[in-house]
Amino acid sequence: MSKALNLEKSLALFEKAKELSPGGVLGIRRPYNFVQGEYPIFLERGYDGHIVDVDGNDYIDMLCAYGPVILGYEEKEINEAVKEQMDKGFCFSLVQEVQNQLEQRLVELIPSAEMVVLAKTGSDVTSIAVRIARGYSKKNTILRCGYHGWHDWCVENPGGVPQVIQDLTKEFEYGDLEDLERKIKENLDDVACIIVTPVGHPTALPVIAPPEGYLEGVRALADRYKIILIFDEIRTGFRVAMGGAQERYGVTPDISLFGKAMANGYPISACVGKKEYMKIMESEVFVSSTFFPNSLEMVASMKTLDILEREKVVEVMWERGTWYLEELEKIKAETGAPVTVSGIPPMPYITFDKADDVYKQRRTLFFTEVIRRGLFIQPYHHWYIAHRHTDEDLKRSLQIIRESMEETLKVYPVKK
């Protein structure tokens, strides 16, 4: 096995953090989502496609802050634009002109965008969209498929959420039109909307490209039963295509939601949609926040979009990602690893098959070997390719995956 990393400072900071905050860190950043004692908890800095922890360990980062970092860390062009805006001010009682500029740009880029509401997080805009749908339809039940954030209407760990609210959200299975139609019929008189991630990403399961005809079928069912259709494009926006998965796959929802890669890590998100539905916010649906109009993130988003377009980032990412998935398949075949290679080119992933009773130990050892060799990926979340990952970074990551898989299979061989 590889030598364990020095994580002394990181672990000490975590012990202090647990005295200051419940769990020390929030949600999916807690150590049990990685391999406890093997992964860093506190980072010092990032550069290009790398991160460096507080103990000085340097990693190729393919988690990319769970998706926001589409270009790379330390993007000087973006940061300089933000610094220039700081000198003008960025938090006021009223809005600044860059709001209109960014919203106009989103309308031009995204097929479903006729009007825009800017917010800060993915959870903000998924919840805004649900409120719009309920306000417009005067109905309450939400049919969902995917991860949509931490707010009451969709939270997966429902502690603290009244049962009566939980009961208003029904889940359907991705890729199964019969299941969706069954859920529609079971709740027909009260369905406010269908919200779905157009590229499926169930927790700890393979990322799923839309099966042929699936998104078209979802659109058809929404039309047939007169239900508002929402695409959660928080992960796919500006990564699957500049206009999101709806552009690449040719299916336009009524409302869609963007975030993560929208500003290369600056906190901003957008709820966009058809005027017919969005205008309900002028009268019956109220949304407000002190910080939603802050302009730094809008400036960062404008500059991020400039770079994405100028450097043809999406096209490059798909080309490199297609090669990367092919290389993962070679590793699987040549090592005999009991894994599934999945995802789409910008979002590759492997999951360990439940081939026998030691698949969990196999997975734990693999990710232990991976992090010790300097590749930062996560067992329960798909990975990302960033624009600033060099060819050498990607080749080295594949070498690490191969070496880690071979080491894992020495300890936990697959029985014939």
What local confidence, expressed as pLDDT, does residue 33 receive?
Answer: 83
Q: Is the per-residue pLDDT at 199 higher than 70?
A: yes
What gap in Å lies between CA 192 and CA 256, rounded to an integer?
Answer: 15
Average pLDDT, integer, range 91-120: 97
Give domain status of residue 2, yes or no. no
Q: Say how many domains are in the chain.
A: 2
Mode of pairing for the β-strands spanning 269-273 and 115-119: antiparallel
Residues 213 and 356 in one domain: no
Place of tokens 């990607």: 394
pLDDT at 209 over 60: yes
Q: How far apart are CA 226 and CA 64, in angstroms?
A: 38
Tell whether 326 and 406 lie within a shared domain: yes
Judgement on whether residues 111 and 220 belong to the same structural domain of the protein: yes
Amino acid at 254: D
Q: Which domain holds residue 139?
A: 76-310
Terminal C-alpha separation, the chain: 24
Q: Is residue 247 over pLDDT 60? A: yes
Q: Global pTM?
A: 0.95
Q: How far is CA 29 from the centre of its chain?
A: 14
- Give the pLDDT of residue 205: 61
Q: What is the pLDDT of residues 356-391, one digit of tens each?
A: 999 999 999 999 999 999 999 999 889 999 999 999
Question: Domain holding 399: CATH number?
Answer: 3.90.1150.10
Res 202: pLDDT: 61
Query: In this predicted structure, what is the pLDDT of residue 203?
Result: 52
Q: Which of 286, 310, 334 is the last residue of a domain?
A: 310
Q: What are the phi and psi torsion angles at 43 (to 5°)?
A: -110, 155
Under the banding of pLDDT at 50, 70 and 90, the label for residue 42 is very high
Banded model confidence at residue 26, pLDDT cuts 50, 70, 90: confident
Element (H, E) at 125: helix 122-137
347 in the same domain as 215:
no
What pLDDT is recorded for position 242? 97
